[in-house]
Amino acid sequence: MGAILEVRDLRVTYRSRAGNSFRALDGLSFGLESGEVLGVLGESGSGKSTLAASLLGLFRANAVIRTGAVLFEGQDLLQAESSDLQRIRGRRISLIFQEPSVALHPTMRAGRQIRQVLAAHGMVGRRALVERTHQVLETLFFAEEAERIARSYPHELSGGQRQRVLIAQAIACGPAVIIADEPTASLDPTTQMEILGVFRDLRKSLSLTMVFITHNPALLAGFADRVLVLYAGRAMELGRAEEVLVSPKHPYTQSLFQSIPPLPGEPRNARKQKLPVVSGDAFSSSFSRAGCPFESRCPERMDICKSCEPRLVNLSETHTVSCFRYEGQ
């Protein structure tokens, strides 16, 4: 099966007013099969939000696309006419944001906000719009609840309900791909799990292709098919979720997972003792251009890491890692 979405050697930089440039994405490549969920794992500054926006061909005014292509069903979104993009965004590929309270219009009822999406993509007739809105809401809420939700203003809804409304907007036009940028980050842990459950169900019922972007590795367990670990705009590690989450190979992924506190009764449980941390501060754009961006923080760095850029090494058919540790193996 061919890739439905493919990113090829994408390099995006931001120019600051002072004339400095910051590399947000630095030669990123990956493909997404139809029906697959790709989990993108990245901390602040890793370029994950730039990636989310790039997949829709959305760029800030100070962004410069150095190289690369984003191919959706074979069409390069970075070269597409804006009228073509309008037809794709929200209908074929939709984006779900982190903050449902900001993404929704505060003085418009939820139902109308969903109808507007449908209308913008060419659905006509009040009756058809209302019907489709209800149909969508009923996939996300209990049937008896859907009516009330449609008539509610965002402030009358809980955080979880608002996030469901955003999801409703995103799936209203029956898109092929959904990109979710930290969709659960602002929610309570229990609500977070509830929304994750919604994504699981939708994935089954609508056979969606998804890019699920998060900073929390544990959200991807049992949900993502493959995991891409992003650092400084580069793919540090990419593989099946079991491979990356259970036996990570890149020193960055390894130290990231170790910094999560264990629960009592789990192995490695030494309460009130120091957590193993990724030393140093999060990535800044000032790293030397030549080497590996993680070099200065890496517990296993070697001489070569500073001067040369590591290539992607295939550990198995499905698992690749960008680290000199594994070269020549």
Partner 1 sequence: MTAKSNETTQPLVRVENLVKNYSKKKLVGSAEEVRALDGVSFSIFRGTTLAIVGESGSGKSTLALCLACLERRTSGNVWFEETDLGGLREKGRRVIRRQIQLIFQDPANSFNPRWSVLEILTEPLVVQGNLGHEEMKSRAHVLLEQVALPRRLGEKFPSELSGGQRQRLAIARALGLAPKLLILDEALSALDCSVQAQIANLLMDLQASLGMTYLFISHDLAMAAYLADEIAVMSRGQIVEQGAPEGILRRPESKITRELLAAVPRLDFSRPSTEP
Q: What are phi and psi of 17, to 5 degrees?
A: -65, -30
Q: Contact with partner 1 (CB under 8 A): which of 127, 204, 271, 289?
A: 271
Q: Contact with partner 1 (CB under 8 A): which of 221, 290, 302, 308?
A: 221
Q: Contact with partner 1 (CB under 8 A): which of 124, 261, 286, 316?
A: 261
Binding segment for partner 1 (CB under 8 A), chosen from 25-33, 114-122, 261-269, 311-319, is 261-269
Rule CB under 8 A: say whether 259 interacts with partner 1: yes
Rule CB under 8 A: say whether 102 interacts with partner 1: no
Strand stretches in the chain, DSSP E: 3-15, 21-33, 37-42, 63-72, 75-76, 93-96, 177-181, 209-214, 226-231, 234-240, 312-314, 320-322
Binding residues for partner 1, rule CB under 8 A, total 43
Binding segment for partner 1 (CB under 8 A), chosen from 2-10, 18-26, 98-106, 238-246, is 238-246
Rule CB under 8 A: say whether 223 interacts with partner 1: yes
Binding segment for partner 1 (CB under 8 A), chosen from 65-73, 124-132, 133-141, 276-284, is 276-284
Distance CA 49, CA 38 (A): 15
- Please state the closest distance from residue 54 (CB atom) to partner 1, in A: 21
- Please state the closest distance from residue 124 (CB atom) to partner 1, in A: 37
Strand stretches in 85-233, DSSP E: 93-96, 177-181, 209-214, 226-231
Rule CB under 8 A: say whether 193 interacts with partner 1: yes
Q: Contact with partner 1 (CB under 8 A): which of 99, 138, 242, 309?
A: 242
Residues 13-72 that bind partner 1 (CB under 8 A): 43-45
| Residue pair 209/175 in contact by the 8 Å Cβ criterion | no
Indicate the residue type of 205: S
Distance of CA 303 to the CA centre of its chain: 33
| β-strand partners of 5 | 32, 72
Q: What are phi and psi of 113, to 5 degrees?
A: -65, -30
Q: Which residue has the tokens 């602002």?
A: 186
Site residues, partner 1 (CB under 8 A)? 43-45, 159, 188-190, 192-194, 196-197, 215-219, 221-223, 242, 245-246, 255-257, 259-265, 271-278, 281-282
